């Protein structure tokens, strides 16, 4: 195989798209952390019973089988919005972004796979070898919370090169795809083929509307809601509907079209997902009553140990090992200015699991309150630990990232386009 370069500077158009996505996710990450903090304080306050009552409060039309607790609405409906955005981002990456060219996609895709498999194997090894272990939660440490991770970047890695930010976004998107696949196959219940076929029918209808360039929201909104309902009734977790509709949305522009439907939808829905849907889910899911379960007892359980080791150790090891292996196999080289220690730092950031990890926790241990609380606490602790260690790793490269940023962001003629895209200047190495 010939030599090729990975983690190179993205095109100017892709750079603008990435920075827009990252900006929305960073703001959403701050709101997410605030919501999780409120949940923890509220659930452990003298008013903790009111928090539990809120999560369990049931609303919705009973005739449709949708008279559900607010906690279920947050997990099944609000996170479907989040996964719709994931589907849009995945489609963009596959068609226009870092996954569109096999030579460029193979390393980040392999890194994402390693970042899913190694944490799951660690969780299984811990729980299979310890008394009172439970294998049900093996999917918990698989996913990356991009909003939380980018909030960490906003504090510790503001000058991180765009190529590394793109690598983190790719990891998170592929991780989320893997997580939703695991949820659909292993954490769905009472599968109904009839309802599932009906759901597939709505996906086909959506695809046809996209194919024939229908743009009227009056057709799309009812179709998506009906598709979500069919998916929910099929027994497949309803968030799968979000990914499905997002992935079927057109990302290429037609002649004379300023923006493709996917770009318009991301611009409209991403703030709703990052600023409302995910934080509300965190508010509903992150509240663990530590008064009823000792913190040390909870963290000493095999489930908690497996989650923490999976996210804090398994993620960076899996990401770095698979990225290095595929680079050696394809004879690829890192872009000038980027070193393997930077890949390891991104792997540490990927260990911030949170949103999807909490979702799988809710699905895996909903019938065992003790294991549910232990796993939730472990997800919170592991995410904070991963964020802290990643922050230190990023700070250790702060001067180098600042030097790279000077080159990447320089705009001497003040035309709004970085000079490197006009003059082909290289980045400093190190």
**Residue 23 belongs to domain with CATH number:** 1.20.1530.10
Local confidence pLDDT in tens for the 430 residues of the chain: 345 777 777 777 778 777 777 777 778 888 888 998 999 899 888 988 899 999 999 999 999 999 999 999 999 999 999 999 989 988 988 888 878 877 778 888 899 999 999 999 999 999 999 888 889 999 999 988 888 888 888 778 778 888 888 888 888 888 888 888 888 888 877 889 999 999 999 999 999 999 999 989 999 999 999 999 999 999 998 989 999 999 999 999 998 888 899 999 998 998 899 889 999 999 999 888 877 777 787 788 999 999 999 999 999 999 999 999 988 888 878 888 889 999 999 999 999 988 889 889 988 898 888 898 899 999 999 999 999 999 999 999 888 888 887 877 776 777 777 877 776 544 444 4
Give the separation between CA 276 and CA 271, rounded to whole angstroms: 8
Q: How far is CA 235 from CA 133, 238, 240, 329, in A?
A: 27, 8, 11, 41
- Specify if 308 maps to a domain: yes
Q: Quick check: 103 and 307 in contact, CB under 8 A?
A: no
- Specify if 248 maps to a domain: no
* pLDDT for 430: 44
Helix (H, G, I), strand (E, B) or coil at 90: helix
* pLDDT for 420: 77
pTM recorded for the entire structure: 0.86
* DSSP bridge pairs for 58: 69
- Specify if 282 maps to a domain: no
Residue 392 exposed, middle or buried by CB count within 10 Å (0-12, 13-18, 19+): exposed
The contacts of residue 288 (CB under 8 Å, 6+ apart) are: 40, 43, 373, 376, 377, 380
* pLDDT for 423: 67
The CA-CA-CA angle for residues 394, 396, 400, to 5°, reads 85
Tokens of 57: 């409060």
- Specify if 260 maps to a domain: no
Helices (H) and strands (E) counted in the chain, each on its own, are: 20, 4
- Specify if 55 maps to a domain: yes
Residue 159 sits in which domain range?
4-64+102-186+289-408
Q: Quick check: 160 and 153 in contact, CB under 8 A?
A: yes
DSSP letter for 10, please: P
- Specify if 163 maps to a domain: yes
- Specify if 339 maps to a domain: yes
**φ, ψ dihedrals at 59, nearest 5°:** -140, 165
Domains held by the chain: number: 1
- Specify if 229 maps to a domain: no
């Amino acid at each position: 195989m010939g030599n090729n370069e990975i983690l190179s500077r993205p095109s100017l158009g892709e750079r603008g798209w990435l920075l827009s996505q990252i900006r929305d996710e960073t703001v959403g990450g701050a709101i997410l952390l605030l919501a999780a903090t409120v949940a923890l304080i509220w659930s452990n306050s003298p008013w903790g019973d009111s928090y539990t009552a809120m999560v369990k409060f049931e609303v919705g039309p009973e005739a449709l089988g949708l008279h559900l607790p607010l906690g279920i609405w947050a997990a099944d409906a609000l996170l479907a919005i989040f996964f719709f955005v994931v589907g849009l981002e995945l489609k963009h990456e596959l068609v226009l972004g870092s996954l569109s060219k096999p030579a460029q996609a193979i390393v980040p895709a392999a890194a994402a796979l390693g970042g899913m498999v190694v944490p799951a194997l660690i969780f299984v090894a811990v729980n299979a070898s310890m008394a009172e272990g439970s294998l049900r939660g093996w999917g918990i440490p698989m996913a990356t919370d991009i909003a939380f991770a980018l909030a960490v970047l906003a504090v510790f890695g503001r000058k991180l090169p765009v190529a590394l930010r793109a690598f983190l976004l790719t990891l998170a998107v592929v991780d989320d795809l893997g997580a939703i696949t695991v949820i659909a196959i292993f954490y769905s219940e009472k599968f109904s083929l009839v309802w599932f076929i009906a759901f597939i029918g709505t996906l086909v209808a959506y695809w046809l509307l996209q194919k024939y360039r229908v743009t009227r929201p009056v057709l799309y909104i009812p179709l998506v809601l009906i598709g979500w309902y069919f998916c929910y009734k099929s027994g497949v977790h309803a968030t799968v509907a979000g990914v499905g509709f997002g992935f079927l949305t057109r990302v290429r522009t037609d002649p004379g079209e300023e923006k493709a439907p996917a770009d318009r939808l991301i611009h409209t829905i991403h703030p709703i997902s990052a600023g409302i849907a995910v934080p509300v889910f965190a508010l509903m899911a992150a509240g663990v009553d530590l008064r009823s379960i000792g913190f040390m007892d909870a963290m000493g359980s095999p489930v908690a140990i497996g989650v923490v080791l999976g996210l804090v150790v398994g993620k960076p090891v899996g990401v770095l090992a698979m990225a290095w292996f595929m680079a050696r196999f394809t004879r690829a080289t890192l872009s000038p200015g980027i070193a393997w220690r930077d890949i390891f730092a991104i792997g540490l950031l990927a260990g911030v699991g949170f949103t999807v990890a909490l979702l799988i926790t809710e699905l895996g241990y909903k019938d065992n309150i003790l294991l549910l609380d232990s796993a939730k606490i472990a997800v919170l602790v592991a995410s904070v630990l991963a964020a802290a260690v990643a922050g230190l790793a990023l700070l250790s490269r702060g001067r180098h990232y600042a030097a790279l940023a000077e080159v990447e962001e320089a705009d001497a003629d003040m035309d709004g386009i970085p000079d490197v895209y006009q003059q082909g200047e290289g980045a400093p190495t190190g």
